[in-house]
Amino acid sequence: MVQTEAEARTHRRRDAGSVPRLLIVHHTPSPSVHALLEAARSGATDPAIGPIEVVVKAALHATVADVLEADGYLLGTPANLGSMSGALKHFFDQIYYPCLEDTPGRPYGVFVHGNDDTAGAIRQIERIVTGLRWTLVQPVLSVVGHPAKSDIEAAWELGAATAALLAEGMA
């Protein structure tokens, strides 16, 4: 099968024997968002998943190279006054144009925590990833208030399911 130039740019080129890479980009200033991050990371790194490299970067430290070198993404943020965190917005501002033509179709998942609402933050993220043409592979995890055990389990599942799709080559 012959790939077009655009198709070749869509997926990260891997050396033979390399494993897929999941990039988790987060802003976790609160214990609640941090708990969701740790659960998602734990799910993504579960040994039962298979071969996958998980890279975790704070939103203010994630770079264009990190995005281009990853095969899929998990994004985590608090909902602050109805918006995604400024740190995650900064991440998107930095990577948007440099990654626009090279990352369409890449899979992503999202977890958002808010004290009373997450809708505005989710809407903002959806607008940006729609522009990037990334593909949502798991339902957005929206947690309002203190995370319950079921929320932590859902974050674990989000990480595990997203990583498994990459590991199986299905995303």
- 18 domain residue, yes or no: no
- 15 domain residue, yes or no: no
**How many domains does one find in the chain?**
1
**Could you tell me the CATH number of the domain that includes residue 43?**
3.40.50.360
How far is Cα of residue 8 from the mean position of the Cα atoms in its chain? 21
Average per-residue pLDDT in the chain?
A: 91
DSSP 57-88: EETTT--HHHHHH-SEEEEEEEEETTEE-HHH
Task: Characterise 107 by phi-psi region: left (phi > 0), alpha (psi -120 to 50), beta (else).
Answer: beta
The tens digit of pLDDT for each residue in 27-80 reads 999 999 999 999 999 999 999 998 999 999 999 999 999 999 999 999 999 999
**Residue 26 amino acid letter:** H
Interatomic CA distance for residues 39 and 22, integer angstroms: 15
The tens digit of pLDDT for each residue in 124-164 reads 999 999 999 999 999 999 999 999 999 999 999 999 999 99
- 7 domain residue, yes or no: no
- The alpha-helical segments, DSSP class H, found in the chain are 5-10, 31-44, 64-69, 86-99, 119-132, 149-167
Interatomic CA distance for residues 109 and 138, integer angstroms: 6
Q: Which domain holds residue 40?
A: 26-167
> 41 and 163 in contact (C-beta within 8 Å)?
no
